[in-house]
Amino acid sequence: SEQGKDEDSLKAYQQSLELNAEDAELCYNLGIKLGAKGDTKGEMNMYAKATNVDPQMGGAWVNWGTALAEAGNLDDAEMMFVKALECGPDVRPKALMNLALVHNTRANEYAQGGDLPSAKASALKASNLLDQAKPLLDELASDAAGADADSQRYITQFKPLRLQVHRLYGQILAGAGEYAACEEEFKRAAETYPDIPGVWDMLGRILELQGKTAEAAECKAKVTELTGR
């Protein structure tokens, strides 16, 4: 069975590690195996060992940070992603995207708690980090050799995350009464992703709120055009 094969593979890695305790790649791969099995503590221990042996192993820092973030420990996760930034260009866009996700999560938490200034600052950080990641991801996507599966996953996830950050940042600005700034944020989203109906809907709503009915109507027409209704 697949489960039996996974168990055998896990045992093989553990036995290899007993003979090669200083093998960072082995620690890293065992961490991935343990994470897939749901052993978060064991997973993080392996990433800690991997980065102790090889501090430049960016993938281990990213995976460690991801495990911490999923456990709700955003502060320590942020530290791991910052470490990953120092590990070379191949891991940099992944670290930037994960840092953006940390700040976007914080922005949402601050907004829900009514702390709009902190929410605005965190959302702006998330936005800036994604702007830094975009050209690096574009470079990966255009690589003639083709992006590996992990890089491809990040390339695919960029657009929905970028839209999510645009939306949250705009909502925070609107909540703070900064309607013109909100309009600019949503216009930026519409320029970048003109094929997304929700973007035009957001822009139309903030325009309507400011009494810009003609422009709002154009946005509604765009939504109709894109959705066919």
> What average pLDDT does the structure give for the chain?
90
CA gap 94, 109 in Å, rounded: 23
Whether pLDDT at 5 is above 60: no
Whether pLDDT at 148 is above 60: yes
> pLDDT class for 154, splitting at 50, 70, 90?
very high
Residue 37: the pLDDT is 86
Both tokens of 214, joined, read: 């003609």
CA gap 82, 188 in Å, rounded: 27
**Mean pLDDT throughout 190-207?**
97
**Mean pLDDT throughout 94-110?**
97
> pLDDT class for 18, splitting at 50, 70, 90?
low
pLDDT over 90, % of the chain: 74
Provide DSSP, 100-150. HHHHHHHHHHHHHTT-HHHHHHHHHHHHHHHHHHHHHHHHHHT-TT---HH
